[in-house]
Amino acid sequence: MNRLYGLIGFPLGHSFSARYFTEKFQRENLSGYEYRNFPLESIRELPAMLENHPGLLGFNVTIPYKQEVIPSLTALSAEAREIGAVNCVKITPQGLYGHNTDAYGFRKSLLGLIGPMRPDALILGTGGASKAVGYVLRELGIAYTTVSRSGGPGRLCYRELTAEVMHSHPLIVNATPLGTFPKVAGCPALPYETITPAHFLFDLVYNPPLTEFLRRGKAQGAAICNGYEMLVGQAEKAWEIWNDPAQL
């Protein structure tokens, strides 16, 4: 009997997860395992998808459903509850259990970029991915400010990013989809000329490996990191959750 896992989101034309897990099953000689994409145009399609695939054991969640999926779940891990976003769901006879493994993957990859330093940060974006980023930065004792197109209470908008703001926030994390393939020319509207070799730029986007955001930062001498290692980390953590009988 096949052991089935999958991914929900929309669109899913260039999914990392399906390729990663298919290659993992081949590499580790895991016969009878399958990972499928389930592109849902609305989260309201989730119950029918689950009914049509009764053997599904777990699934990942990507844009735009990391927050919308929560009302459909039986329970959340403490981490997912605090973050307010879910990217991994374990299916058990008792129900659907939501987890956030983005935080694990981001923490591991970020520490590889900044080492023991704890620079103040700007988080670009306010979606589900940004919530996991904020959670990890708080855990690490890194002060941060969120940036969005419209600003708002406790947030900055891009036109408020002065040279002073940029210099006082050496870590900049892009948690938006800007620059993702195929729209590779896109990037957050930063004053890139204010970036220096003292800056760290982290992009959650992994395709292309060198986004326009990272390219511009690298040209100014900044240290850069894309989202690939974060994705690998979150995928392996999801695999651990799905296959640990003691963990809901």
Q: How far is CA 48 from CA 38, 45, 51, 124, 138, in A?
A: 11, 6, 5, 35, 38
How many Cα atoms within 13 Å fall on the side-chain side of residue 126? 14
> Do 66 and 128 touch, CB atoms closer than 8 A?
yes
Maximum Cα interatomic distance, the chain, rounded to a whole number of Å: 60
> Do 86 and 80 touch, CB atoms closer than 8 A?
yes
- The one catalytic residue in 24, 66, 108, 183 is 66
| 218 is an active site residue | no
3-9 and 33-39 as β-strands: parallel, antiparallel, unpaired?
Answer: parallel
At a CB cut-off of 8 Å and minimum separation 6, what does 191 contact?
161, 162, 163, 166
Which among 28, 33, 30, 38 is positioned nearest to 1, based on CA atoms? 33
88-92 and 56-61 as β-strands: parallel, antiparallel, unpaired?
Answer: antiparallel
**What residues are annotated to the active site?**
66
